[in-house]
Amino acid sequence: MHSIATKPINGTSSRLRVELFGELVFSREPMRRYLSESALEGIERWEKRGERISRELADEIANALRQWAQERGATHFTHWFHPLTGLTAEKHEHLYDVIHGKVLSALNGDELIQQEPDASSFPSGGLRSTFEARGYTAWDPSSPPFIYGKTLCVPSVYVSYDGHALDYKTPLLRSIEALNRALLDVVKLFYRDVHRVYPTLGVEQEFFLIPQSLFKKRPDLMLTGRTLIGAPSPRGQQMEDHYFGSIPEAVLAFYEELELEAWRLGIPLKTRHNEVAPAQYECAPVFEELNVAIDHNQLLMDLLKRTARRHGMECLLHEKPFAGINGSGKHNNWSLSTDTGINLLSPGKNPKENLRFFTFLAIVLRAVYKHADLLRATIATPGNEHRLGGNEAPPAILSVFLGGEVTAAVEALEKVPELPSLAERQPFSLLPTLPPVLRDNTDRNRTAPFAFTGNKFEFRAVGASAHCAPAMISLNAAVAEAGQDFLHLYQSYTAQGSPKNAAILLAIRDFLRESRPIRFDGNNYDAAWHEEAARRGLSTTFHLPHMLKTYHSPATKSLFRKLDILSETELHARYEVRIERYVKALGIELHTLLDMLRSYLIPAAIRYQQELVNLVGSPALQTLAQAYAPEVLPQQKLLESLQHHLSALWEGITTAEAIWQKVRQIGSVEEQAEIVHDEVGPIMRTLRYHADEIEKILPAALYPFPRYAELLFEIA
Ligand code: ADP
Ligand code: MG
């Protein structure tokens, strides 16, 4: 998209900000102003009862939308959709038509409802060959249209000519609907007045900011998003002083503009802070309905990049831009809400609410336990391959942290199906002069990949650059299935004569027992946990091609098929896209690395080598060599060391070329992925080792790229 048309916001008062919230969104308020009573009623019928939006109504909405957007400076219209690239896509149409030489404003209901981008160049996983290029985008009325730059964007789904989902939004919407269908009957055990259950999501987004001038001197960052070589900076994150530290001026200015733009787009950004690694930051909006939250996260990632550039910085969303310091993730805070405003994962104040709480807790635990490998597959991305499992991010083993108090309650319930009580949050006093502090009923455990945090679950293994949908579709689906199974279990207990609450408790107990292996409150970084997890039958290694195979497992296929979320064909296509993109991503990384070595680093090293050779052969050094033994001369040592790493580098390059040759000659993408995993990754690490050793030897002025210390500490 083109640049955002807004002015910088220095000096904008907070009063103005509040008024600006959502001003670029066609939400309730503009709808009331631009639409007739009957149109509003039609929309309400669609929202409340799922009644279809008629063509006439669509025409009226289209007309209102166009007028509203043009009054705010929009010139173009697009369906804004989520192809399987993980990014969003758009194809702009002018909001004006020229008919018989006359310029007319135009946007009718048909155009609003459906568009046909020539879609042959999006990844489809074999669902569509290039000669069958037709694909349709269709309006998703559950996420409001917005103006981005000068373009009116209408959130849309994207399907092929024969109706297969080619995007993330279609299965996401299906999973939200499946969740509603499955959980409504369970909710009705507790509340009769609930008509809808929906997932909520709040995404914490981590990222790095570095000077743009330096970014442009690093082909690896530009082409792959991460540094492929680079010796560590003497100072990294050892001092633990960046996290929550004072935000640098330049970054504050960036944040201010980001927040204002986000607010205007209706993205409720709320928190901002420095993250653990130098140059690393985080921001998070207040949670929203899941579909809208994901649209907003996609938009936010774009906004982060654009805003950073306007401030002379580059925003890195990669999961591991720098070796040796923390990478970036995207914590997906997920919960379940009713249309009556109850958070189903919030512990209650009375026994009825607590019974409801333990019911949904048990359902989620059973879901995560049964589909742990699928959830792992959804976050198995090339970037996460470098991030997960290190001593920083959640490890590759999926387990759930509940915290001491909830764990104790769950363990009691597992033994005796009686409702345990949960203590109220207890205040404790620090000093008589200070107000009392309330203690939460869960502590934090930063090492857990899936954590219960008081009234929601937090899936932390999602990568910072990732689209949230794959993880959220699978979580929704798994929970929907567990909800159905819970109800069946409950019904079987009542059929055997158990009274209602007793039957619920028995069903909870069964789910807790079944899912016990997934619960772990200890230190997930501990080596002993790996062994323990393996004993429990949990998957422990991050082997991307193998993890993706879960897309083909009977449990996964049956899950998506029975809930009408993805057909087997659609599921297989997703697998194909993922595995193909893995091979492509590593191919790009390998060739970028080879290019950096051949065209920059090796020529620089040879220049230095020549200097050293000249020095060693010079009369002055000869004299020195006669005075001392020649082998103790540092010049000689440097030369030998440089020579050693240069030869090793050259040998590595030859090996890497041969490996890629082999990859290219193999027909099946699955076998390619195996070689990429087993050979490309390791040879890149070898090349990096020698390149970084050369960096340590070269005079700073000769090293052809900005170094880690500059990249990480220039903005402070
Ligand atoms: P932390 O994870 O550090 O406890 P917060 O309490 O600020 O941080 O929560 C992080 C994110 O979780 C925010 O986006 C917040 O809005 C979101 N969140 C809070 N409650 C819910 C909920 N019921 N459903 C989904 N997300 C939630
Ligand atoms: Mg968090």
Overall average pLDDT of the 676-684 stretch: 96
Pocket test for ligand 1, best of 456, 459, 460, 475 (most atoms within 8 A of CB): 456
Does the structure show a pLDDT above 70 at 2? no
Per-residue pLDDT reduced to its tens digit, 92-142: 888 887 888 887 778 888 888 888 876 677 788 877 664 566 788 988 989
| Cα distances (Å, whole numbers) of residue 463 to 240, 283, 327, 332, 408 | 23, 15, 9, 10, 32
Per-residue pLDDT reduced to its tens digit, 21-68: 999 999 989 999 999 999 999 988 887 777 888 889 999 999 999 999
| Cα distances (Å, whole numbers) of residue 491 to 50, 273, 372, 695, 711 | 29, 48, 26, 68, 61
Per-residue pLDDT reduced to its tens digit, 277-325: 899 999 999 999 999 999 999 999 999 999 999 999 999 999 999 999 9
Question: 63 CB under 6 A from ligand 1?
Answer: no
Distance CA 489, CA 161 (A): 41
Confidence at residue 52, expressed as pLDDT on a 0 to 100 scale: 84
pLDDT band of 440, cuts 50, 70, 90: low
Confidence at residue 124, expressed as pLDDT on a 0 to 100 scale: 82
Residue of 386, 457, 462 lying closest to 86 (CA atoms): 462
Distance CA 250, CA 272 (A): 14
| % of the chain with per-residue pLDDT over 90 | 70
Pocket test for ligand 1, best of 269, 287, 444, 472 (most atoms within 8 A of CB): 287
Confidence at residue 82, expressed as pLDDT on a 0 to 100 scale: 93
Please report, for the chain, the start and end positions of each structural domain, with discontinuous segments joined by +: 18-166, 177-201+330-566, 583-713
Overall average pLDDT of the 376-392 stretch: 83
Question: 200 CB under 6 A from ligand 1?
Answer: yes
Answer CATH for 18-166 from 3.40.50.720, 3.10.20.70, 3.30.1280.10, 3.40.50.2300:
3.10.20.70
Distance 541 CA to ligand 1 centre (A): 29
Question: 333 CB under 6 A from ligand 1?
Answer: yes
Confidence at residue 113, expressed as pLDDT on a 0 to 100 scale: 86
Confidence at residue 438, expressed as pLDDT on a 0 to 100 scale: 62
Angle at CA of residue 192, ends 186 and 198, nearest 5°: 55
Distance 271 CA to ligand 1 centre (A): 10
Overall average pLDDT of the 578-585 stretch: 96
Q: Looking at the CA of residue 271, tell me the nearest atom of ligand 1.
A: 7
Per-residue pLDDT reduced to its tens digit, 392-439: 566 789 999 999 889 999 999 999 998 888 776 666 666 766 766 666
Per-residue pLDDT reduced to its tens digit, 647-676: 999 999 999 999 999 999 998 999 999 999
Per-residue pLDDT reduced to its tens digit, 163-201: 899 999 999 999 999 999 999 999 999 999 999 999 999
E strands present in 126-267: 135-139, 146-148, 151-160, 197-211
Does the structure show a pLDDT above 80 at 243? no
Which residue's CA is the nearest one to ligand 1's atom 17?
A: 202
Contact in structure between 336 and 287 (CB atoms under 8 Å) = no
Question: Coil, helix or strand for 603?
Answer: helix
Token digits of residue 419: 């409702």
Confidence at residue 196, expressed as pLDDT on a 0 to 100 scale: 95
Confidence at residue 664, expressed as pLDDT on a 0 to 100 scale: 95
Does the structure show a pLDDT above 80 at 386? yes
Overall average pLDDT of the 598-624 stretch: 93
pLDDT band of 9, cuts 50, 70, 90: very low
| Cα distances (Å, whole numbers) of residue 110 to 106, 114, 119 | 11, 6, 19
Confidence at residue 107, expressed as pLDDT on a 0 to 100 scale: 86
Confidence at residue 631, expressed as pLDDT on a 0 to 100 scale: 67
Indicate the residue type of 463.
Answer: G
Q: Any idea which architecture 583-713 has in CATH? A: Up-down Bundle (1.20)
Question: 445 CB under 6 A from ligand 1?
Answer: no
Distance 516 CA to ligand 1 centre (A): 26
Check residues 624 and 120 and name the one with the higher pLDDT: 624
Question: Coil, helix or strand for 358?
Answer: helix
User: Cβ contacts of residue 604 below 8 Å, gap of 6+?
Assistant: 698, 702, 703, 704
Question: 343 CB under 6 A from ligand 1?
Answer: yes
Count other C-beta atoms under 10 Å from residue 367's C-beta.
27
Per-residue pLDDT reduced to its tens digit, 210-241: 999 999 999 999 999 999 999 998 888 776 77
Contact in structure between 81 and 299 (CB atoms under 8 Å) = no
Confidence at residue 447, expressed as pLDDT on a 0 to 100 scale: 77
* Whole-number average pLDDT of the chain: 90
Contact in structure between 681 and 663 (CB atoms under 8 Å) = no
Question: 287 CB under 6 A from ligand 1?
Answer: yes
Which residue's CA is the nearest one to ligand 1's atom 23?
A: 335
Distance 333 CA to ligand 2 centre (A): 7
Distance CA 185, CA 510 (A): 19
Confidence at residue 10, expressed as pLDDT on a 0 to 100 scale: 47
Which residue's CA is the nearest one to ligand 1's atom 19?
A: 287
Residue in the structure block whose two tokens are 């082999």: 662
Token digits of residue 218: 């690093």
Does the structure show a pLDDT above 80 at 11? no
Distance CA 695, CA 54 (A): 66
Distance CA 486, CA 511 (A): 8
Confidence at residue 415, expressed as pLDDT on a 0 to 100 scale: 93
Confidence at residue 246, expressed as pLDDT on a 0 to 100 scale: 83
